Structure 1
Amino acid sequence: MSDRAQERVQTWAMRFGLLADDDAARRFDKLGYARFSAYWCPTASFADMLLVAEWITVFFIFDDLQNLAITTGRLDEYDRLRHAALRVVHDRGATGPVPPVIAALSNLCTRTFPRNSEVWQRRFALNLELWLIGHARENAFRQALRSPSPEEYPRLRRDACTVLPTVDLAEIIEHIELPDALYYGPAYQEIIATTADIMCWTNDLHSLAIETDAEDTINMVTTLHDHRGMDLSRSVVEIRRLIDARVTDCQRAAQSITAEMDALHLPPRIRNGVRRCIRDCQSAIAGMELWDRTDTVRFTPDDELRETRNIDYGNGFLDRV
C-alpha cells in the first residue's frame, strides 16, 4: 500500500500548502517519504499507516528546513520555527495563521494525542521536544564548524533523528500502550537506542557523499576523522563494524525483554503488542537501508538530482513565525 499512501500524503501536503504546484508534487514523489513509512507499519491498517506517513513527512520537512537555514545563514529564523513547533506540541495544536509546516504539525497533534492515555501523551510530547532540541544542538555544532565527539555523537543523533517519537507511534498503530515500567526498563530503552543508532549510522553512509560536499559536520564519518584521525575508507569500515555490533545488541535486548515482562506480570495482550512494536522497529531498520538505496533520491549524490531534492515548502517559510 506504500505507493497509494505516497499519493494520499502528497494530497495532504498540498492541502496545507507544503507543495505549491505539480512540479513540487513530482519532486515530492521521488523523495518517497510514505514508501519509507510503510516499513514502520508492516501489518497496520491503511489509515494508521497514513498517520505515520504524514508524521514522517513532517519530520523530513523540518530536516529540509533546518538544512536550508544552515546553508542560508537563517538559524535565528529556524529557531523561531522550532519554538513555534514546541508550542504546538505543548498546546496539542495551534490556532490562527501559522506557516504551512506548523499547520500540518498542528493537524497531526490534534489527531494523534487523544488516541492514547495521558501517560503516553506526556512521553510522546517529551520525545517530540527532544527531537526539536536535538535540532538546536546539531545546529550549534554546525555553526561552530565542529563535529561531536564519538562519545557525544550517538546521543545527539538519537535525539534529533525522530526515531524516539516514531517508536511511540508504533504503539498507536499496534493499538497498544506500554506501561512506563517496561518502556523505561533497560531492554526497551536499548531497543529504542539501537534502532536509532543503526538507522542513523546507516544513513550516515548513504548520505556521506552529499554531506561531505556540503561540509556538514554531523556525520559519524566526519566525527571519526576529526577525533580519531581515521581516513574515509577506514571510517566506513569502522561504522559498519559498529552497526553490526548494535544489531547484536538489539537482538539481545529483544530476547531479554521477556524476563522484564514476566517480572511485571504483563498479560498476553500487552506482551503480544510489545512484540509487534519490536518487530516494527526491526522492520524499519532493514527497510531504511533498502529505502536509502532504491526508493528515494534524497541521498543520491548526482548533480542532476539536486534540484529534485529541493522543494519550497510554502513561500517565506519562516517569515510568518
Structure 2
Amino acid sequence: MESIILQKRLYCPFPSRINSNVIAADEHTVRWIRRFRLLHSEEQILQYRKEGYAYMVARMFPEADLETLCAYSDLNTLLFIVDDFLDQKDEMVSGGHDSGSVEKFSKVFVAILDNPAVGHGSSEPVFAALADLWERICRLGTPGWISKYKNSLWRIFHAALWQHKNIEAGIWPSLEDYMSRRQYIGAANVATDCIEMIDGISLPEEAWNHPVLVELTELCRNTVCWANDLFSLSKEREKGEYHNLVTILSHEKHMSLNRAVSRAISIHDIQVRRFIRLTASLPVFEEKITTEIIRYVEGLKAIMRANIDWSNHETSRYRFLYADQVPAMPRRVRAEAVAH
C-alpha cells in the first residue's frame, strides 16, 4: 500500500482526551468478537486489535461509563466489520458486495433492530452479535432515542446501497451529491447521534431542530469524513475505490492528486473554522437547556478531535504521512511524491 503525503496537518484546535476505561473496553470487545466468532482466527483478531476501534470510541466519549463504552466499542467494531463486508466479497458474511447482497443484508440488519429474536441463533455471526448488542443498547437508551437511532443505522445502509449501485453502473457521483451523502456512507451520523445517549443529553425537539445545532452536527460529521477520506486515500486507491473526496475532486475538477489533496485539506479546515464561529451563536433557551446544548457541542468537538488523534496514533488501518514527517526530502522530490 502506497503512503499518501498530506501537505499539512488538519486544523482541529480541540483538546485531546481519552476514556480511562479504554483498555478494559478493548479487552471486552476482543472477548465479544471471540464469543460470536466474528473473526475466524487469532491472527484476524490481532489485526483488528491493531486497528484500535476501542481507542477510537474512548476518544470520542471520554466520560462514558464502562458498560456504555463497551457497548459502543462493540458496535463500532461491528460496523467496521460490516463496512469491510460491504466494500468487498468477504468470508465473514455469506454473499458478496453487489447491490443485491447489500440490500438483502441491510434488510436483515434492520429487522433485528425491530426484533432481536430475528438474529438470535442466526448462522451469520454478524446477525447473532447484533441481536445481543442491540438488546444491550436498548437497555441504555430511552425509547425516543432508540427510535431515532434505528433511523440513523438505516441511513448508512441506504447510502451504501447508493454507492454500490454507482459502482455497478460505472457512475461517478457529482461532488455535490457525494458531499451531501458522505456523512451516512461513513456512519458519522451514528457517532454524533450517540452523544445524546452516551453523555445523557436531554433536549427538547425545538433545540435539536434549531438551525445552528443542525449545522454544527453536520459540520462535525462532514469534517470527520473529509479527514477520513484523506487518511484512507491510500487504502482506497489500492482497491480502486473512487467514492472519496480527493478522488472525486481530482476527477471532476481535473486536478492533480496533489492539488486535490490540498483542496480537501482546505475544505476540512474551512468547515472546522465555520464550526468554531457557529459556537459563538448557540441558541439561547432557559439555563438548563442551554447547559445541555453546551455539553452536546463539547461532545461534537470530542468526536472531531478523536477521529484525527486515533488516525494519527492508534490505528494501523490507514497509511499516510504529513509533509513535515519527511523533512530530508528535497522539495522537488517531495512534490513528486505527493503527486504520485
Would you say same fold, with TM above 0.5?
Answer: yes
Question: Unpaired segments of 5 or more residues in structure 1?
Answer: 302-321
Alpha-carbon shift at residue 108 of structure 1 (Å) = 2.1
What amino acid is the match of 1:204? D
Alpha-carbon shift at residue 93 of structure 1 (Å) = 5.4
Q: How big is each residue's C-alpha offset from its partner over 1:78-119, in whole Å with a ceiling of 9 and x where there is no partner? A: 332111111112335534432111122222221223433333
**Which residue in the other structure is 2:31 paired with?**
11
Corresponding residue pairs, total:
295
- Normalising by structure 2, we get a TM-score of 0.80
- 1:84-99 pair list within 5 angstroms: 84-91=108-115, 94-98=118-122, 99=124
Cα distance in 2 for residues equivalent to 1:180 and 1:107: 30
- 1:99-248 pair list within 5 angstroms: 99-248=124-273
CA separation of 1:219 and 1:70: change in aligned 2, threshold 3 A: farther
The correspondence for 1:53, drawn from 45, 70, 73, is 73
**Which residue in the other structure is 1:300 paired with?**
319
Percent identity (aligned): 23
Which stretch of the first structure deviates more once superposed, 288-297 or 271-280? Answer: 271-280
**Which residue in the other structure is 1:65 paired with?**
85
Answering whether residue 303 of structure 2 is matched by residue 284 of structure 1, we say yes
- Normalising by structure 1, we get a TM-score of 0.85
Contact 2:102 2:160 in 1 (8 A): no
Answering whether residue 101 of structure 2 is matched by residue 77 of structure 1, we say yes
Alpha-carbon shift at residue 248 of structure 1 (Å) = 1.6
Contact 1:194 1:247 in 2 (8 A): yes
CA separation of 1:53 and 1:158: change in aligned 2, threshold 3 A: same
Alpha-carbon shift at residue 50 of structure 1 (Å) = 1.4
Which stretch of the first structure deviates more once superposed, 112-121 or 19-28? Answer: 112-121
CA separation of 1:287 and 1:90: change in aligned 2, threshold 3 A: same
Contact 1:134 1:156 in 2 (8 A): yes
Higher helix proportion: 1
**Which residue in the other structure is 1:22 paired with?**
42
What amino acid is the match of 1:83? K
Which stretch of the first structure deviates more once superposed, 190-199 or 101-110? Answer: 101-110
The correspondence for 2:290, drawn from 242, 262, 271, is 271
Cα distance in 2 for residues equivalent to 1:17 and 1:239: 38
SS at match of 2:282: helix
CA separation of 1:248 and 1:92: change in aligned 2, threshold 3 A: farther
Q: Please give the root-mean-square deviation of Cα atoms over the aligned residues, in Å.
A: 2.1
Contact 1:39 1:284 in 2 (8 A): yes
Which stretch of the first structure deviates more once superposed, 132-141 or 96-105? Answer: 96-105
Cα distance in 2 for residues equivalent to 1:147 and 1:297: 29
Cα distance in 2 for residues equivalent to 1:74 and 1:134: 14
CA separation of 1:200 and 1:93: change in aligned 2, threshold 3 A: farther
Cα distance in 2 for residues equivalent to 1:37 and 1:236: 27
